[in-house]
Amino acid sequence: MTEEEAAEFYGSHDLAEVWDDLEPVEESFLPSPRMRESMVSLRLEPRFLKAVKELAKKKGLPYHALLRIWITERVRKEAPDLVR
């Protein structure tokens, strides 16, 4: 499931309906130290930031998540050998 699909699903479903049916799990879902993300600062022209925010809203995502998806997809396409 992609982040976009997850956002769409959880944005339209309520766990309260099935909360009592859920079972506890023993596994940890914390990312390994290798998987941690780094913070970056990015300057965009206001018109591009506005467009990104509008597109993200239509997709039901925070704009920073949409930017992360786009950057990740493009890097994987352009340099797959660098992001193993």
Confidence grade of residue 72 (pLDDT, cut at 50, 70, 90): very high
The structural domains of the chain, with segments of one domain joined by +, span 1-16+41-84
Q: Within its chain, how far is the Cα of 33 from the centroid?
A: 18
Give the Å distances, CA to CA, from 38 to 34, 35, 41, 52, 62. 11, 10, 10, 21, 18
Tell me the C-alpha distance between 23 and 30, whole Å: 18
**The pLDDT of residue 32:** 63
Residue 57's pLDDT is 94
- pLDDT grade for 9, boundaries at 50, 70 and 90: confident
Task: Output the pLDDT for position 60.
Answer: 93
Residue 36 gets the label, from left (phi > 0), alpha (psi -120 to 50) or beta, of: beta
More confident residue, 45 or 14: 45
Q: In angstroms, how far is the first alpha carbon of the chain from the final one?
A: 20
Cβ 73 vs Cβ 21: under 8 Å: no
Report the pLDDT averaged over residues 30-59. 86
